[in-house]
Structure 1
């Protein structure tokens, strides 16, 4: 194991630009922060994005731990989103979800916002974009092909629109410390994208980067070379933005014959965009990245079974592993299975030999709520809560159907997707003691559906955005 003490790193990089096109409502261009010192970047409260938080780690800290759920508080077949994966944000008593719903236009979707209390729709608005919502500081952000759109969380009113010269899908927004980070242009297969930091209040560009210089892993004598960004969501932790890059000398062979993938990771100062480190990995880099204060996990190949774990301060490789599905600053949850089958998960304490394993866990990723790891076990058709430290099974909720994703969590409720042969995909709220729902799966006495007749909270003039 390497030295885990914090080490200073040299910040180098190209000049930063604040140019761009902004279509906004009552916005002004913020002055660029010229500081080159790292800052402590804060997460928004709650399950703020599809990946849970700015670090993409599917982890919600809780002061009192996650209670054992004992009731279905409500269920809905009109809050199904754009995929079977987890695609919701849950913040301050509201659920945010993007989907096609009644639309037949692939790009013209709807943002729906419902109460976590009973699933009742609070407001909805049309939005040009299919990416999953991100919520921070009273604003919900949705990315599209050529724009990021920001709405007020209270009533859906338009806050601003940032337009880009892009024909490719813009990445899901990552929100941290008053800013949001998106990658525009390019694809997961090339390195032609641009990384932007936008002011969360008005969408003004704080900085952008098109390329960085990166060293070749395990080649100390090779000079650093310029690499570009892949179109993938970034992770933010410890005052740094961690992004997937493409190109470089290496092209990893991967675990499947014929599969090759290049690329690596770079760390940038979250406030200035200055490069802290960059590395091209021998085994390549796909589009998934998880970051904590101590380590960064990078999926090497599309099959999802291999990853490289790097020191977050230096970019030095610490180990190679099965792919991490969820993490805290101290714990990694890895999964050894192909989609859509089941397999064992291993929970390892970082920097030690301590670990525990649970078998027959469904492919869709588990999540961590406080001191509880929540996962789906297919042989029993159940959702299981494990003690994160010991692996002891704390509770087990059996249901009738096939799980598609653990979509999100708050302080006392787990939100998950369920498919049955005789029903469309549902979003179900599984809650600790609550007087609104009764009984286990199959008890239909409380199946509250959102009221689709609720008036759209956005202005009519916002429908083009």
Structure 2
């Protein structure tokens, strides 16, 4: 593991006032270069790039009905859907349900002396479920059919658990060969899934808050407001931004990233010769709790006052809607799904017809919840998945809409 002195020697620090470069650089393509046509939602933010956009799914565009609901504990991450199973991670349990019937398939609970572990959102590849735990258990690899533990990768020392979901390091037709995990001390591990040992580790400053990957490059955001680009265990660039990194996504073929900050707006950061410098800065951009939606040339972020749809090229606001949206949004095809304090609302991704807030035809439907939406919205196949916290004194319920 490199020392902090080595980090300084290998990673160039760029000031928050960096000047944006020429827009003549290659524009981004929102489609992941590892797109396999899936309608599943196999990890926290759909893909390793963190774009929360399921282009092949057919989520409900008309007023939905409820397929089923099931009681769950307070959610630790938004639902994940793969191969006919939906996984709900919570305080104390990771539970697998049948997508069609809602039948509980299996449940993992206490781990040794830890009777209420906090599970992250899982990441599913084939017959293996990878999930982080906020204790010394670290990362668990579970059998997707039975929930039985196959192996684990544990961290050492204090604050050794995981609170950031695992993300594949590289995705190919043969599946995942590596996984990016981070511990509570600020060390990033690229874990070889065959050897079950790290290919490399890298120490960042402070705790990791967000991770995204693309083509072997690992992008890391921290609680201290820094964004790192790492490759093969070496820092490519490092950028200090004005606040905790609350969302992070890689953009298409350009290698650029978008990052939201707590109180400092949204930044699009460049790559190549201008690596880490600002392409644009939306000063009034959303806090973007948890994740963006990157789709159709747009970057969508939500917070406790608005949902903002930014132009991916310029950073200008195309449209916005007022509301309390404190969880990550999702999108499928041409529809945007927002989870808030009154339930789920669907909008046309282009916002309909009009100018600024005066628009028509944008809102498609609203489905009320008893409480507010917890952890985020997931769209897979023809259905929408979200947890209703039930309100004061009521249990949380995973609801599936179609």
Tell me which interval the TM-score lies in, with the shorter structure as reference length: 0.7 to 0.9
* Structure 2 CA distance for aligned equivalents of residues 93 and 267 of structure 1: 35
Q: Pick the aligned partner of 2:211 from 205, 224, 234.
A: 234
Q: State the Cα distance separating 1:140 from its structure 2 match.
A: 1.0
1:460 is aligned to: none
* Per-residue deviation, 1:422: 6.9
Quick one: distance in 1 between partners of 2:372 and 2:336? 17
| Residue 195 (structure 1) shift | 0.9
- 1:328-360 CA deviation, whole Å, 9 max, x = no partner? 25211134x54xxxx332212211457122233
**Deviation digits for residues 281-321 of structure 1 (CA, Å, limit 9, x no counterpart):** 3x2443542222254232333xx563332125522112222
8 A Cα contact 1:382 1:396, kept in partner: no
Tell me: CA distance 1:166–1:409, structure 2 relative to 1, closer, same or farther (3 Å): farther
How far apart in 2 are the matches of 1:362 and 1:263? 22
Q: Larger radius of gyration, structure 1 or 2? A: 1
Give the superposed CA RMSD.
Answer: 3.1
The CA deviation string for residues 186-223 of structure 1, in whole angstroms up to 9 with x for no partner, is: 1xxxxxx2111112345222222225xxxxxxxxxxxx
Q: Give the secondary structure class of the aligned counterpart of 2:45.
A: coil
Q: Distance in 1 between matches of 2:266 and 2:337?
A: 22
Moved over 6 A (4+): none
- Tell me, in whole angstroms, the C-alpha distance in 2 between the residues paired with 1:424 and 1:344: 27
Does residue 402 (structure 1) correspond to residue 333 (structure 2)? The answer is no
**What is the number of equivalent residue pairs in this alignment?**
340
Aligned to 2:397: 426
1:60 maps to: 54
Is the Cα–Cα contact under 8 Å of residues 89 and 119 in structure 2 kept in the other structure? yes
Structure 1, unmatched stretches of 5+, are 8-38, 101-108, 187-192, 212-227, 247-261, 432-465
- Residue 189 of structure 2 aligns with which residue? 196
CA contact (8 A) 2:212 2:218 kept: yes
Specify the alignment match of 1:333 in structure 2. 300
Query: Structure 1 residues 159 and 42 mapped into 2: Cα distance closer, same or farther (>3 Å)?
Result: farther
Q: Deviations over 1:14-65 (max 9, x none)?
A: xxxxxxxxxxxxxxxxxxxxxxxxx966689522233333223322222666
Cα 1:365–1:398 shift into 2, 3 Å: same
1:208 lines up with 2:201 in the alignment: yes
Q: C-alpha displacement at 1:363, in angstroms?
A: 2.8
| Structure 1 residues 374 and 305: alpha-carbon distance in aligned structure 2, compared to 1, 3 A threshold | farther
SS at match of 1:423: coil
Correspondence 1:73 to 2:67: yes
Quote the residue 2:239 is aligned against: 279
Conserved in 1, the CA contact under 8 Å of 2:43 and 2:123? Answer: yes
Residue 311 of structure 2 is matched in structure 1 by: 349
Alignment counterpart, residue 389 of structure 1, candidates 341, 350, 355 = 350
**Corresponding residue for residue 180 of structure 1:** 179
Deviations 1:117-172 (A, max 9, x none): 12101122335441322222321112222221101112223221112213212232
1:208 is paired with a residue whose SS is: strand
Distance 1:63 1:82 in 2: 23
Q: Would the alpha carbon gap of residues 122 and 331 (structure 1) be closer, same or farther in structure 2, given more than 3 Å must change?
A: same
Structure with more of its chain in strand, by fraction: 2
* Shift in CA distance, 239/61, structure 1 to aligned 2, threshold 3 Å: farther
Between the aligned partners of 2:214 and 2:321, the Cα distance in structure 1 is: 28
Instruction: Out of 43-52 and 141-150, give the one that drifted further.
Output: 43-52
Q: Does 2:23 align with 1:3?
A: yes
Quick check: 2:329–2:377 contact (8 Å CA) kept in 1? no
Distance 1:242 1:415, change over 3 A: same
Gaps in structure 2 of 5+ consecutive residues? 1-20, 112-116, 353-360
Deviation at 1:420, TM superposition (A): 4.2
Q: Give the equivalent residue in structure 2 for 1:137.
A: 126
Distance 2:267 2:320 in 1: 20
What residue in structure 1 maps to residue 5 of structure 2? none
State whether structure 2 residue 281 is matched by structure 1 residue 320: yes
1:309 equivalent in alignment to 2:268: yes
Report the 3-state secondary structure (helix = DSSP H, G, I; strand = E; otherwise coil) of the residue aligned with 1:328.
Answer: strand
1:142 touches 1:148 (CA, 8 Å); kept in 2?
yes
CA distance in 2, matches of 1:376, 1:245: 25
Question: What is the CA–CA distance in structure 2 between the aligned matches of 1:376 and 1:110, rounded to whole Å?
Answer: 23
> 8 Å contact 1:44–1:137 — kept in the other structure?
no
Q: Distance in 2 between matches of 1:174 and 1:229?
A: 19
Question: Structure 2: how far apart are the matches of 1:232 and 1:287?
Answer: 7
C-alpha separation between the residues in 2 aligned to 1:139 and 1:44?
Answer: 20
Supply the distance in 2 between the matched residues of 1:44 and 1:266 (Cα, whole angstroms).
30
TM-score scaled by length of structure 2: 0.74
1:439 is aligned to none
Flag the 1:291–1:229 CA change in 2: closer, same or farther, 3 A.
Answer: farther
CA apart distance, 1:429: 0.6
Distance 2:338 2:395 in 1: 22
Q: Secondary structure at the match of 1:232?
A: strand
Paired residues of 1:415 and 1:429 also in contact (CA < 8 A): yes
Ranked by relative contact order (alpha carbons within 8 Å, sequence separation 6 or more), the top structure is 1
